[in-house]
């Protein structure tokens, strides 16, 4: 009997050679210009040669104020598409699907202009509370980033909804202290990440895979637990998440 771990696996329209995935580990390899460089190409080419069934490229912020580190790729403008296309091509040349993780660090951004759902102090800095204009801009930035990733030749995109970053900051009552339609009860706290997902899905079309890196339990007082993330997972599935 063949071990399922090493058997071909269908992920939406993608066929993976096995169920092993190169996860999006942050490397700090890009130069301060946020462009793909030879070090990035060498690393991800080696990962694609490793035998993994799929390679997910580390977090790529959709706008500059979402940068978690100055040495990070960006996908906030069309000028980044050619470099990202080189990266996608290097991975796919090995016969492996290439996935790009779209990201916004929110209150964890290493920026003076960091934004967040609420004024929760982080590393001694209180972020700007996002108003409706900020929310609309970030939703549009995720959608534009997904379009650019598809145009660059990636086979799928993944939304970074883990590790306490912006999507999770809205979802968690620990970091979302809002009293408007984006805060309070779980249905409201789910609204922003679901709006981001819907905008991304619309930008790339139904046939293009969209995944979601998921945080099931924060394991901190007042944080997310399975009682809240189970229904959120069901909402993502209903919205058409590939994984």
Tokens of 214: 């998921």
In degrees, rounded to 5, the angle at the alpha carbon of residue 187 between the alpha carbons of residues 182 and 192 is: 40
191 CB burial (10 A radius; 0-12, 13-18, 19+): middle
Q: How far apart are CA 154 and CA 165, in angstroms?
A: 23
Place of tokens 């706008």: 63
Does the active-site annotation cover 182? no
Total residue count of the chain as it appears in this document: 243
Cβ atoms within 10 Å, residue 81 = 17
Strand partners, 57: 100
Cα dihedral 135, 159, 100, 165 sign = positive
Beta bridge partners of 128: 115
Q: Which of 26, 29, 43, 165 is the catalytic position?
A: 165
Q: Which H or E run contains 47?
A: helix 38-48
**CA atoms 192, 196, 198, 199: torsion sign:** positive
Pseudo-torsion of CA 87, 89, 94, 95, nearest 10°? Answer: 120
Catalytic residues: 165
């Amino acid at each position: 009997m063949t071990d399922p771990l090493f058997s071909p696996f269908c992920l939406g329209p993608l066929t993976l050679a096995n169920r092993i995935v190169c996860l999006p580990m942050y490397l700090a390899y890009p130069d301060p210009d946020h462009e793909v460089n030879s070090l990035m190409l060498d690393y991800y080419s080696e990962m694609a040669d490793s035998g993994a069934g799929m390679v997910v490229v580390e977090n790529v912020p959709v706008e500059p104020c979402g940068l978690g580190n100055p040495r990070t790729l960006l996908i906030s403008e069309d000028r980044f598409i050619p470099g990202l296309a080189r990266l996608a091509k290097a991975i796919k040349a090995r016969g492996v699907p290439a996935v790009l993780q779209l990201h916004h660090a929110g209150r964890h951004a290493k920026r003076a202009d960091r934004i967040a759902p609420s004024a929760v102090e982080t590393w001694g800095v209180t972020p700007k509370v996002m108003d409706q204009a900020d929310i609309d801009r970030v939703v549009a930035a995720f959608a534009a980033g997904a379009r650019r990733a598809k145009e660059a030749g990636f086979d799928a995109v993944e939304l970074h909804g883990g590790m306490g970053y912006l999507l999770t900051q809205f979802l968690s009552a620990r970091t979302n202290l809002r009293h408007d339609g984006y805060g309070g009860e779980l249905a409201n706290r789910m609204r922003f990440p679901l709006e981001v997902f819907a905008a991304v899905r619309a930008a790339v079309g139904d046939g293009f895979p969209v995944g979601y890196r998921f945080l099931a339990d924060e394991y901190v007082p007042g944080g997310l637990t399975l009682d809240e993330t189970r229904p959120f997972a069901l909402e993502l599935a209903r919205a058409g998440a590939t994984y």
